Amino acid sequence: MIYMGDASWWDNRFDSRGAKLMMHDSKLEEDMKYFPEKGKVLDVACGDGRNSIFLSKQGYVVDAIDFSKVALDRLNNFANMEEQSIRTTQIDLSDEVTFAKLDEYDLVIINHFRLDKSLYPELSNHLKENGVLWVNGFREIPGNNPNITGRDLLSDDDFAGLENCTLESKDTYENGEHKLVRYIWTKK
């Protein structure tokens, strides 16, 4: 799997980060009004857990998946430091059976990762009725990150297979030099 780099590239990137957890995505916190008040969350491509830990602190039960072992080790360390319980699983997010063994969730988040559009129908099968899918990522290549390419950009077409979900909200916005887009889907 490659997203800006392979697993080794990401392991090195996470390994080079300091011992401090990054702040959760502010858009995630802003969008809490769309989420169920409690329940089970899946954080797809969770990295080292900034959003997983934030949601766990809000009272959600969180499962976090990523393909970087270093990221998951860091997440587990941060979760222990913050006294949060998060189940982590190393998983290849490009495999057709990626989501086959997962539970059902009230909320699925994908932040700054472009999941292959062929995987969205299977992922939506793991959303409970009225469950929410929150996807946030790049809509334009930023000038300050040469690792992001056109294949990393979200588009409306990515969600064509979500026949059992309704688009509740789409927001295009900027965060510094980054031009982003956020989608919120509800399973009906």
List, in sequence order, every residue forming a beta bridge with 87; answer none if it has no partner. Answer: 63
Q: What is the pTM of this model?
A: 0.92
Region of poorest pLDDT, from 13-27, 61-75, 166-180: 13-27
Specify the fold of 7-14+26-187: Rossmann fold (3.40.50)
Indicate the DSSP class of residue 49. Answer: S
What does the block give as tokens for 182? 């956020």
Q: Sorting pLDDT into bands at 50, 70 and 90, what band is 5?
A: low
Q: What is the pLDDT of residues 28-69, one digit of tens each?
A: 999 999 999 999 999 999 999 999 999 999 999 999 999 889
Instruction: Cite the DSSP H helix spans in 82-130.
Output: 120-124
pLDDT at 155: 97
Average pLDDT, the chain: 91
The pLDDT of residue 141 is above 50: yes
Q: Cα separations (Å) of 172 from 3, 103, 141, 145?
A: 22, 31, 14, 19
User: Residue ranges of the domains in the chain?
Assistant: 7-14+26-187
Separation between Cα atoms, residue 37 and residue 75, nearest integer Å: 24
41 φ, ψ (degrees, to nearest 5): -120, 140
> What single-letter DSSP state applies at residue 21?
P
Backbone angles phi, psi at 129, to 5 degrees: -55, 135
